[in-house]
A = this chain, B = another copy of it.
Amino acid sequence: MIKAETKIRVRYGETDQMGYVYYGVYAQYYEVGRVEAMRKLGFSYRQVEERGILMPVIDFSISYKKPAFYDDEITVVTYMRERPTGLRLIFDYECFNAVGELLNTGKVTLVLLDKATNKMCKIPDWFQKGFDPFF
């Protein structure tokens, strides 16, 4: 399993007039979470792109339990629970506020896209090797 924890401070512009973090903002928080999870593999998302692979999201779901507020420090916990074998990467999420309350849970699925052909592709060997220490 891969598990990564990332702290994010809520920005003023991320709140809405309810005083909550806008529901669409968590897509960015989750993105930050999986970028940090991927760094554990020994390379960055940026480097994956530089090697000619894009990683678009094909599925995103989130269940909101409690709102987050301005200036809160959010902990995004990102999990990859199973070793990816084929075409997809699946990340699970939990967000907590500073007093440990669960704010939301979610799931994001990504595919790999070969920039040169604009077609989906399998996870290449150098990418797969990054998973070895975790599964």
Query: Quick one: CB contact mask for A26-43 with B, threshold 8 Å, 1 for yes?
Result: 111001100100000000
Task: Report how many residues on chain A are interfacial, defined by Cβ distance under 8 Å.
Answer: 38
Tell whether A131 is near chain B: CB-to-CB under 8 Å.
no
Instruction: Give the number of times this chain occurs in the complex, counting copies.
Output: 4
Tell whether A18 is near chain B: CB-to-CB under 8 Å.
yes
CA distance A59 to B25 in the complex (A): 14
CA distance A18 to B19 in the complex (A): 8
- Do the beta carbons of B54 and A63 come within 8 Å of each other? no
Choose among B15, B31, B54, B60 the residue that contacts A61 (Cβ–Cβ < 8 A): B60
Give chain A's interface residues, CB within 8 Å of chain B.
Answer: 9, 11-20, 22-28, 31-32, 35, 44-46, 49, 54, 56-64, 67, 70-71
A-B contact pairs, 29 of them (CB 8 A): A11-B28, A11-B31, A11-B32, A12-B31, A12-B35, A13-B24, A14-B28, A15-B16, A16-B17, A17-B17, A17-B18, A17-B19, A17-B70, A18-B54, A20-B56, A22-B27, A23-B27, A23-B56, A23-B57, A24-B31, A27-B27, A46-B70, A56-B67, A57-B64, A59-B61, A59-B63, A59-B64, A60-B64, A61-B61
